[in-house]
């Protein structure tokens, strides 16, 4: 009887515990939507050309959003285009992201041209501000004009390499448009014909999904939409999430600085001149050290950017020739040839339609003039060195002058060039007398009395 009561009491305790677990589970279940609404949204701003630094910045933002379990990451885009390698890195990061990536072409009047079009079509949700435009996604080969296009008023026929480039881009952009069910036919026209659309027409032709005056409006319109994220359909519910700007760290800022074509080119110049001055004055160390560091940073930066191979080779040849001129003077033959090669290579190094990835002609002209000036100075120094009388060996002693420090019976000590030498000469010399050195016999100087200059009549002694 007693055991039956104990069993009933145990069952009652177990039922109460189970009920408590259900209540707790219910509380956690009810709090999940609230937790989702309280998650943040990271905002990454792309303003300008898309290069290695922007690629690193966007990928860092997507990774940070994943670690923080953000509701989404918004790429606010205003770009004229960018490098193909950087664009492909960003697109790959968007497609692999487990968190929705929105592309918002803003503010009003912004554009998602060229590379920006690929980012918008790859995104899980694309929106535009009124007055913005998208398109003109024709790829531009480094060192070549746009494809297709005109030159001197005449249509150009793309060559085989350009056709391959265009066809590859068409296949890529169509596949991106198909992922979210966007207008793949228009995407192909954006590549082949370079067409563009304003914001409202882009929404009507299903190139983008939303037309929003600001970011809160975009997030509100996105609420409840179904999108494919990393191959999984997701209904997005994060309109009330707090937007947090994601700022680039010091490493990305440094990368943005050195991958600016102007900065990279100036670092290249500093490296070249540093090595030239080190060759002209061996052992000075400081110019060579600074030059070597600057040259390494410049080469690293250029390696991250799309540069013309012929331009890079001409610059390398020019550097080698100018350093060769400084190390083994050829009276300008190597130096001026190197300066010319460096200038021509600079013109070919960066070519394209994006101002952020081109060099100013004035900068190239200034660098060319500076290189020619340095070479002229080096040649002048070489010429002067050949005309300068010998400053060492026997010629340094002949006709030199010294002062007697100690003298006795035709021998003693003579100070010559702040050094004391054993000397032989006339017997009647005395300490303090000025003597002229006749020649050197081993470690002994042969001297004779210096002749004092004559004083003209009427002159003061």
Q: Which helix (H) or strand (E) holds 78?
A: strand 72-78
Residue 38 predicted with pLDDT over 50: no
For residue 125, which of 223, 39, 45 has the smallest C-alpha distance? 223
| More confident position, 406 or 36 | 406
pLDDT of res. 126: 97
Rounded average pLDDT over 208-224: 95
pLDDT of residue 451: 63
pTM of the model: 0.69
Domain covering 394-449 in this structure, CATH number? 2.40.50.140
The model's confidence at residue 22, banded by pLDDT at 50, 70 and 90, is very low
Q: Which of 55, 70, 97, 114 is catalytic?
A: 114
> Would you call 164 a catalytic residue per the annotation?
yes
Q: Which of 8, 10, 31, 164 is catalytic?
A: 164
Domain residue spans of the chain: 36-248, 259-387, 394-449
pLDDT tens digits for range 162-215: 888 899 999 999 999 999 899 999 999 999 999 999 999 999 999 999 999 999
pLDDT for position 337:
85
Q: What is the mean pLDDT of residues 211-238?
A: 92
User: CATH classification of 36-248 is 3.90.226.10, yes or no?
Assistant: yes
More confident residue, 375 or 310: 310
Identify the band that residue 144 occupies on the pLDDT scale cut at 50, 70 and 90: very low
**What's the mean pLDDT when you consider all of the chain?**
81
Mean pLDDT highest for which of 20-29, 119-128, 254-263? 119-128
pLDDT at position 250: 93
Least-confidence region, from 142-151, 235-244, 303-312: 142-151
Task: Look up 3 and say whether it is catalytic.
Answer: no
């Amino acid at each position: 009887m007693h055991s039956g009561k104990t069993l009933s009491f145990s069952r009652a305790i177990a039922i109460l515990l189970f009920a408590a677990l259900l209540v707790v589970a219910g509380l956690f279940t009810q709090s999940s939507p609230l937790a989702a609404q309280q998650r943040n949204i990271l905002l990454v701003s792309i303003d300008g050309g898309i290069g290695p630094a922007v690629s690193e910045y966007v990928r860092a933002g997507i990774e940070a959003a994943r670690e923080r379990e953000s509701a989404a990451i918004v790429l606010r885009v205003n770009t004229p285009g960018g490098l193909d390698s950087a664009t492909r890195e960003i697109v790959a990061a968007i497609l692999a992201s487990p968190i929705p990536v929105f592309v918002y072409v803003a503010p009003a009047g912004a554009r998602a041209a060229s590379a920006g079009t690929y980012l918008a079509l790859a995104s899980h949700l694309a929106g535009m501000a009124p007055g913005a435009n998208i398109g003109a996604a024709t790829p531009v080969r480094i060192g070549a004009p746009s494809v297709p296009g005109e030159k001197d008023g005449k249509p150009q026929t793309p060559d085989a390499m350009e056709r391959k480039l265009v066809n590859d881009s068409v296949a890529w952009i169509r596949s991106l448009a198909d992922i979210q069910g966007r207008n793949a036919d228009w995407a192909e026209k954006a590549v082949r014909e370079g067409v563009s659309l304003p914001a409202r027409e882009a929404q009507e032709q299903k190139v983008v999904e939303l037309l929003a005056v600001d970011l809160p409006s975009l997030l509100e319109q996105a609420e409840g939409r179904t999108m494919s994220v990393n191959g999984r359909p997701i209904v997005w519910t994060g309109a009330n999430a707090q937007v947090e700007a994601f700022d680039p760290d010091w490493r990305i800022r440094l990368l943005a600085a050195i991958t600016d074509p102007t900065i990279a080119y100036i670092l290249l110049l500093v490296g070249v001149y540093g090595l030239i001055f080190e060759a002209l004055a061996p052992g000075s160390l400081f110019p060579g050290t600074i030059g070597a560091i600057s040259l390494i940073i410049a080469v690293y930066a250029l390696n991250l950017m799309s540069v013309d191979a012929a331009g890079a080779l001409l610059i390398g040849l020019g550097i080698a020739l100018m350093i060769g001129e400084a190390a083994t003077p050829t009276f300008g033959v190597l130096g001026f040839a190197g300066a010319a090669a460096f200038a021509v290579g600079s013109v070919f190094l960066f070519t394209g339609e994006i101002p952020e990835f081109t060099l100013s002609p004035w900068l190239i002209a200034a660098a060319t003039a500076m290189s020619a000036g340095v070479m002229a100075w080096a040649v002048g120094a070489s010429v002067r060195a050949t005309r300068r009388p010998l400053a060492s060996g026997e010629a340094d002693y002949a006709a030199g002058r010294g002062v007697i420090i100690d003298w006795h019976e035709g021998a003693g000590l003579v100070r010559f060039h702040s050094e004391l030498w054993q000397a032989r000469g006339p017997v009647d010399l005395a300490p303090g007398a000025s003597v002229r050195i006749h020649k050197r016999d081993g470690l002994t100087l042969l001297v004779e009395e210096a002749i004092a200059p004559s004083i003209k009549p009427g002159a003061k002694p």
